[in-house]
Amino acid sequence: MVFNGHSIESINELDAETMGEIMVMYNDGMLGNKSSLETIGLLVTGVFNYIRAPSSPPYTLKGVLGKAYSYIYEKEESSANDALLTFMSQAQGFNIKKFKG
């Protein structure tokens, strides 16, 4: 943050909640490398697919990014039970107590 014009004193004045939000933004790429990695991955995929042999399989962004792909794109999927419970909760007279043990 010092390199972006902040002083040590102004950084020390930040409360823990604000500093936590800044760290989350950095980790998620608003201030960090996530967007750069995504852009470079798309560029590499495009170039590699352009120059690959016609008989070879196409390159995918998932293959180029490797483990970083799961961090950027793959979200935790809800289970079938969660989807069913969500659907059933829309019914008239639904009571969640009947489904909790």
For the chain, what are the domain ranges? 1-32, 42-93
Mean pLDDT across 60-74: 82
Q: In whole angstroms, what is the distance from residue 70 CA to residue 35 CA? A: 14
Mean pLDDT across 81-101: 72
Read off the tokens for 54. Answer: 């016609």
Q: Is the pLDDT of residue 75 over 90?
A: no
Residue 88 contacts by C-beta under 8 Å, 6 or more apart in sequence? 94
| Cα→Cα distances 76→18, 79, 94, Å | 27, 9, 26
Determine what percent of the chain is predicted with pLDDT higher than 70. Answer: 74
Read off the tokens for 40. Answer: 């470079």
pLDDT of residue 97: 77
pLDDT of residue 25: 73
Q: In whole angstroms, what is the distance from residue 73 CA to residue 97 CA? A: 35
Q: Is the pLDDT of residue 18 over 70?
A: yes
Residue 61 contacts by C-beta under 8 Å, 6 or more apart in sequence? 41, 42, 45, 69
Is the whole model's pTM more than 0.85, yes or no? no
